[in-house]
Amino acid sequence: MAQTQPILITGGTGFIGSHTAVVLAEAGQPFVILDNLCNSSPKVLDRLARLNASPLEFVQADIRDSAALDALFARYNFAGVIHFAGLKAVGESVAQPLRYLENNVSGTINLLQAMDRAHVRRIVFSSSATVYGDPAVVPIPETAPLTATNPYGRSKLMCEDALRELHAADPRWHIAVLRYFNPVGAHDSGLLGEAPNGIPNNLMPYITQVALGQREYLQIFGNDYDTPDGTGVRDYLHVMDLAQGHLAALRALDTPKLLTVNLGTGQGVSVKDMVDTFARVNGVPIAHRFVARRPGDVAQCLADARQAKALLHWQTQHNLERMCADAWRWQSMNPQGFDTPL
């Protein structure tokens, strides 16, 4: 991959994409961002500029828009695509399965077709640990059986299947399927972070909003799981480590291949551990109440992270304390998310 050829980041104004933009900029890798802004703010671009991580161009467009993609691929000689664009709210996907499948699956296929037309056959794809469903074995190896428990998970599995079929049919493709575990934290400048719309679904943004006083207390979904303290166990990784994983994947795709890799720490953290660590590190107590299990949740989900080390030469660098400190710095500096004036 020639350094001067840019990378296209789809979904690049979103949570993980914006942090990945910073990592690419630090590595001297130019990039273009395409996002339809359905779940992110254009103000992210001002923050990226502050971090010397501006894209060559920002294109407000949809990955389902073939004409927009063809025009963009004609303007740049892209070295590859990091494809984050997609809808990600599990509950919403249950209510609106066709919208999720159309956006995520049709969108990805449309993008792959545009890439093929432009002879750009290198892609890093955002998959998720959700493709393992309720895992029989933890830590979960990449060879574990795959399943979908909701339309969001189904959309990820369908995209993965499309990528596997594509590689089988045309081995010229360079494909990395990255299965993320639970990304949290924020850039340590406090300029970038996670800014969910409405009531957060995920644990860390909920905790930071309780810490800020925007929500009264955290509901801990279940304390009767078969885990050391009864609360759900997950593999949380710092979003900057996850962002570095994308650079590592791009570099590993120097030759045609299909890589499928978990990105996680391999360490299990319970909801109770997370609440206690956040309170201790930041000196802010987190009011909480134990409530019933959330439907669809599994007891434990953590990565066997050995493949990432072997194939991508990547492993996480930031510990749980750092994830909690950075998430809180971002939230406390930006109580209104990206609408907070700089």
Q: Which residues are catalytic?
A: 152
Under the binding rule (CB under 6 A), the answer on residue 290 touching ligand UDP is no
CB 183 within 8 A of CB 16: yes
* Binder of ligand NAD out of 14, 139, 193, 205 (CB under 6 A): 14
| Extended beta strands in the chain, E state | 7-10, 31-35, 58-60, 80-83, 122-128, 174-180, 182-184, 218-221, 233-234, 236-238, 257-263, 269-270, 288-291, 300-301
Out of ligand NAD, ligand UDP, none, what residue 241 binds, judged by CB under 5 to 8 A for its kind, is none
Out of ligand UDP, ligand NAD, none, what residue 13 binds, judged by CB under 5 to 8 A for its kind, is ligand NAD
Rounded to the nearest 10 degrees, the angle between the axes of helix 203-212 and helix 320-333 is 50
Which lies closer to ligand UDP via its Cβ, residue 110 or residue 219? 219
Under the binding rule (CB under 6 A), the answer on residue 135 touching ligand UDP is no
Under the binding rule (CB under 6 A), the answer on residue 41 touching ligand UDP is no
DSSP states along 230-258: SS-EE-EEEHHHHHHHHHHHHHHTTSSEE
State the residue number with the nearest CB to ligand NAD. Answer: 14
Restricting to residues 50-109, name those near ligand UDP by CB under 6 A. none
Place of tokens 């020639």: 2
Which lies closer to ligand UDP via its Cβ, residue 201 or residue 332? 201
Restricting to residues 199-258, name those near ligand NAD by CB under 6 A. none
Restricting to residues 65-94, name those near ligand NAD by CB under 6 A. 84-88
CB-based contacts of 324, cutoff 8 Å, min separation 6: 185, 274, 277, 278, 281, 282
CB 192 within 8 A of CB 51: yes
Q: C-beta of 133: minimal distance to ligand UDP in Å?
A: 12
Under the binding rule (CB under 6 A), the answer on residue 257 touching ligand UDP is no
Out of ligand NAD, ligand UDP, none, what residue 277 binds, judged by CB under 5 to 8 A for its kind, is none
Q: How many residues does the chain have?
A: 342
| Extended beta strands in 39-181, E state | 58-60, 80-83, 122-128, 174-180
* Binder of ligand UDP out of 192, 271, 303, 312 (CB under 6 A): 271
Which lies closer to ligand NAD via its Cβ, residue 146 or residue 228? 146
Restricting to residues 177-216, name those near ligand UDP by CB under 6 A. 182, 201-203, 206
Out of ligand UDP, ligand NAD, none, what residue 16 binds, judged by CB under 5 to 8 A for its kind, is ligand NAD
How far apart (Å, rounded) are the C-alpha atoms in residues 219 and 297? 14
**Distances from the Cα of 36 to the Cα of 42, 58, 249, angstroms:** 10, 10, 25
Structure tokens belonging to residue 247: 């650079």
Which lies closer to ligand NAD via its Cβ, residue 57 or residue 256? 57
Query: Largest Cα–Cα distance of the chain, in whole Å?
Result: 56
How far apart (Å, rounded) are the C-alpha atoms in residues 300 and 225? 9
Which lies closer to ligand UDP via its Cβ, residue 7 or residue 204? 204
Which lies closer to ligand UDP via its Cβ, residue 220 or residue 240? 220
CB 43 within 8 A of CB 107: no
Q: C-beta of 91: minimal distance to ligand UDP in Å?
A: 10
Under the binding rule (CB under 6 A), the answer on residue 260 touching ligand NAD is no
What is the binding site for ligand UDP (CB under 6 A)?
182, 201-203, 206, 218-221, 232, 234, 271, 294, 297, 301
What is the binding site for ligand NAD (CB under 6 A)?
11, 13-17, 35-40, 62-64, 84-88, 103, 107, 126, 128, 180, 183
